Structure 1
Amino acid sequence: MNIPRATVTKLVQELERHLGAKLLQRTTRQVSVTPEGAAYYERAVQLIFDLEEMDDAVVQSRAQPRGRIRVDIGSILANAIVLPALPEFRARYPELHVDVGVSDRPVDLIGEGVDCVIRGGDLPDTSLIARRLADLDWVTVASPVYLGARGEPMHPDELQARELSGIGRVRMAGHTIAGYFSSLSGRALPLEFNKDGQRIIVNSETVVAVNDSTAHITTLLSGVGIGQTFRFAAAPYIKSGRLREVLPDWTRPRHPMHLVYPSNQHLRAKLLAFAEWMVEVFARYDDRPQANRAV
């Protein structure tokens, strides 16, 4: 909100005096929410939402949605797809302002006040509404510098770790992995290869792993090792020669992307406008056959 922390402290203390109850429990090391504070917060959020719903009811009768929408998007999707297209959104909806949170970490939509997020993969939370945007192809790549030094693998098995006979140590079998690890679990995601009904999962120890998708591209460009990323993200670098595709005959299942939002927001004009625009934008990157895009 761009206000000093001391001002926030003063406002909270004044609110506590007004209510005659502690909303925050303060110690020298941390500040936590009291049960009364949590209940007050939840009720306040609902009241604010109801007020916004009143505004939206009027907005929907107008030609243009207005207000502010907070969205959260993964790094590579934001930098390569959404942010470059924002000028066209602003031209279409000049009264609708967008706050874009850029991070690969999972966010709490309700707790963090986020209107919607773009998420990939499985969606275990059935309380949320998900709208399919696209399915994205993967590609296995490495830099020419790396391949010039280490050679090009001809089979996924060459990426697996193996134990050296009689020594008991484990090392990479001729190649190293530049990996991506989950912010949620802290574990590196395995590489996956499919061909003619055969499926190979590579869980080799990664030499370098990052938890940001844009940083992962940078790591691959640096020549650290081999990795898998979205084809659309690697395509400009493959075209320029800064990355080379390896194991092209081996594929990985497409990665589904969804726009996800709480069920109590589905009628809001500003969210509807943003969702329809996201469908248009991601259609340009959708790797599904045309006949399957209605799914």
Structure 2
Amino acid sequence: MDRLSAMQAYVRVVEAGTFTKAADSLDLPKATVTRLIQTLESHLRTKLLNRTTRRVTVTPDGAAYYERAMRLLSDLEELEGSMSQARVTPRGRIRIDVPGVVGRDMIIPHLPDFYAKYPDIQIELGVSDRPVDLISDNVDCVIRGGELTDQSLVARRIGEFHFVTCATPEYLRRHGNPAHPLELGQAPHRMVGYFSARNGKLMGDTFRRDGEVVEVAGNHCIAVNDASGYLKAGLAHLGAMQLTCFMAAPLIKSGELVRILDDWQTDPIPVHVVYPPNRHLSSKLRVFVDWVVELLGQSSTAGMKIRCGLS
């Protein structure tokens, strides 16, 4: 028996929850994964998994074996990295999940710069606003904006998103330029609404100026749960918007959008990289995260330029 392969297969089955998902993530036939687990159980002379038609769960012995196996596999990966050129030239596959707009407008356009530095890293990039299960989906890390709710995960704050309030010239021609944020909650003005893909909660907007704080729920004719759809609705003149600076900058420069309420500030939202507690940041993942931190720094600079009227 190849103990290492069996151990890796077992860990993947536990994390994925099914033999099928584990086999897909390992790029192995399901029958091979099943045989590896059966051989491992026979070798250990104990039952590691309880199998049902839909999902597998670990036995008490299986849970203990999983914890030890995870540590051994993590130590092995670290050892191999230290004994090779991996620390000098990171290589290998990483699977990342990011919000749609971050992938489309921030990360993907700058990937040529990343690959110029790290040509041997293969990125599998999930680009969507839907929540993912890091463990069962075998994701190395996710990048998310906003406050975190799952305390079982490990998170590192890597920056923040800044926002600018804007609307299309056509919207302003039809409805006028608001002088105060509260006007956005009243006719004839309206905002494009945004609700959480996770819990369906409609998001409000907070404006600040010289110690004054204004909460605006917004008068909207449409609300969406996707950032790309949010932008499209705004560009269709359906309402004013709160856009991240990296989204707004090129559209303001081209004249497709106009800044409004310039003397009011909106709260930035924190950005975190999140990964499972039983994973460590490998060198290949670490350089990617550091690169994203640099991109976020550039976004913050762009945000200052927008707010100061320099872009």
TM tier relative to shorter chain: 0.7 to 0.9
| 1:90 alignment counterpart | 115
Does the alignment pair 1:25 with 2:58? no
Structure 1 residues 262, 34: CA separation in 2 closer, same or farther (over 3 Å shift)?
closer
**How does the TM-score come out when normalised to structure 2?**
0.74
Superposition deviation, residue 266 in structure 1? 4.2
| 1:130 alignment counterpart | 156
Q: Which digits, 9 at most, give the CA deviation of each residue in 1:192-237, with x for residues without a partner? A: 2111211111124532222222222122111111121112211111
| 1:226 alignment counterpart | 240
| 1:153 alignment counterpart | 178
Q: Which digits, 9 at most, give the CA deviation of each residue in 1:257-283, with x for residues without a partner? A: 233334554452112222222222222
Does the alignment pair 1:144 with 2:169? yes
Q: Distance in 2 between matches of 1:62 and 1:253?
A: 38
Superposition deviation, residue 77 in structure 1? 1.4
Aligned residues: 271
| C-alpha contact 2:165 2:260 (8 A) present in aligned 1 | yes
| 1:251 alignment counterpart | 265
Counterpart among 211, 220, 224 of residue 197 in structure 1: 211
Q: Distance in 2 between matches of 1:138 and 1:236?
A: 14
Structure 1 residues 87, 151: CA separation in 2 closer, same or farther (over 3 Å shift)?
same
Structure 1 residues 59, 174: CA separation in 2 closer, same or farther (over 3 Å shift)?
farther
Higher RCO (Cα < 8 Å, 6 or more apart): 1
Does the alignment pair 1:274 with 2:301? no
Q: Which digits, 9 at most, give the CA deviation of each residue in 1:121-168, with x for residues without a partner? A: 223537514042x333211112222222222222122222xxxxxxxx
Q: CA RMSD in A?
A: 3.3
Q: Distance in 1 between matches of 2:183 and 2:157?
A: 39
Does the alignment pair 1:66 with 2:91? yes
Q: Distance in 1 between matches of 2:247 and 2:65?
A: 40
Letter in 1 for 2:224: V
| 1:119 alignment counterpart | 144
Structure 1 residues 11, 227: CA separation in 2 closer, same or farther (over 3 Å shift)?
same
Structure 1 residues 41, 156: CA separation in 2 closer, same or farther (over 3 Å shift)?
farther
Superposition deviation, residue 102 in structure 1? 1.0
Structure 1 residues 84, 257: CA separation in 2 closer, same or farther (over 3 Å shift)?
same
Structure 2, gaps ≥5 residues long: 1-20, 42-46, 305-311
**How does the TM-score come out when normalised to structure 1?**
0.77
Q: Distance in 2 between matches of 1:240 and 1:33?
A: 54
Structure 1 residues 222, 210: CA separation in 2 closer, same or farther (over 3 Å shift)?
same
Structure 1 residues 222, 11: CA separation in 2 closer, same or farther (over 3 Å shift)?
farther
| 2:220 alignment counterpart | 206
Q: Distance in 2 between matches of 1:159 and 1:61?
A: 53
Counterpart among 102, 108, 117 of residue 77 in structure 1: 102
Structure 1, gaps ≥5 residues long: 161-171, 290-295
* Higher mean displacement: 16-25 or 242-251: 16-25
Q: Distance in 2 between matches of 1:61 and 1:145?
A: 53
